[in-house]
Amino acid sequence: MDRWRKLHGRRLDHEERKRKRLAREGHKASQDAQNLRGLRAKLHAEKRRKEKIQMKKQIKAHEERNVKSSGEEQDNKTPLPTFLLDRSNPTTAKALSSAIKNKRAEKAAQFSVPLPKVKGISEEEMFKVVNTGKKTHKKSWKRMVTKPTFVGNDFTRRPVKYERFIRPMGLRYKKANVTHPELGVTVQLPIISVKKNPQNPLYTQLGVLTKGTVIEVNVSELGLVTAGGKVVWGRYAQITNNCENDGCVNA
């Protein structure tokens, strides 16, 4: 199923159908609760009970923005006067809903490598059919890559007659803005090669630059040295942005 989705994408009304299916779930649960009998009814009721507990917890977390709680327990070794025994300093804490926590985690994961989520790209989105020209328009076997690509300095195109994939000049990149997470610096470095595109081995071969692609960059300018004293030449980096939208490669 995943392979089919990567190759052909989803239906145009997929999101709408999914939304409607979720909207119908409440009706389905209600109907089951009314009509099920015996063991199935017991299992269904147990499942619903657990779901409701989770829902109540979530609602409570949403409502309780500020939660007052008593301060940390003091050591019993230090004696307190009688009038202070029942007194505790209240502390105010923020109870964040799980949705907000998830959103924050996703935002923090934007620059953590490897990336936690990479959206699949279908072949219909990646390639445009080229059907101009005397021979091509009859069979339409040529494809134009619609995403940014990297080709080496010594790259030469194949003869037009035998060329299968066309990589437009305007969508070719040679440099990437690489952020070093520990040092907290961003430098523009030349790309050496495309090591792996998680979408498809074909995209790796073509040097397509999409979000999540692992590239090798030239770090000789930074003066990094190994333990043995040798200068580090190339390092791996992972692309963290959608290059076709931003007009640059961030890694």
User: Over 90: is that where the pLDDT of 248 sits?
Assistant: yes
Confidence of residue 251 (pLDDT cuts 50, 70, 90): very high
The span from the CA of 93 to the CA of 69, in Å, is 8
Q: Taking a C-beta distance cutoff of 8 angstroms, is the pair 119, 211 a contact?
A: yes
Residue whose C-alpha is closest to residue 243's, from 147, 111, 158: 147
Q: Tell me, what's the pLDDT at 67?
A: 58
User: Over 90: is that where the pLDDT of 131 sits?
Assistant: no
The span from the CA of 41 to the CA of 44, in Å, is 5
The span from the CA of 33 to the CA of 56, in Å, is 20
Of 28-32, 150-154, 183-187, minimum mean pLDDT range: 183-187
Total-model pTM: 0.56
Q: What residues are paired with 145 via a beta bridge?
A: 127
The span from the CA of 242 to the CA of 237, in Å, is 15
User: Over 60: is that where the pLDDT of 96 sits?
Assistant: no
Q: Tell me, what's the pLDDT at 192?
A: 95
3-state secondary structure of 83: helix
Residue whose C-alpha is closest to residue 199's, from 115, 129, 133, 137: 115
Confidence of residue 34 (pLDDT cuts 50, 70, 90): very high
Convert 86-112 to b/e letters by CB count within 10 Å (16 or more is b): eeeeeeeeeeebeeeeeeeeeeeeeee
Higher pLDDT, 113 or 130: 130
User: Over 80: is that where the pLDDT of 153 sits?
Assistant: yes
User: Over 60: is that where the pLDDT of 74 sits?
Assistant: no
- Provide the token pair at 130: 């080229």
SS (H, E, C) 133-183: CCCHHHHCCEEEECCCECCCCCCCCCCCCCCCEECCHHHECCEEEEEECCC
Confidence of residue 161 (pLDDT cuts 50, 70, 90): confident
- Provide the token pair at 247: 């007009």
How much is the mean pLDDT over the chain? 84
Give the mean pLDDT of 180-196: 89
Question: Based on the number of CB atoms within 10 Å of its own CB, is 176 exposed (0-12), middle (13-18) or buried (19 or more)?
Answer: buried
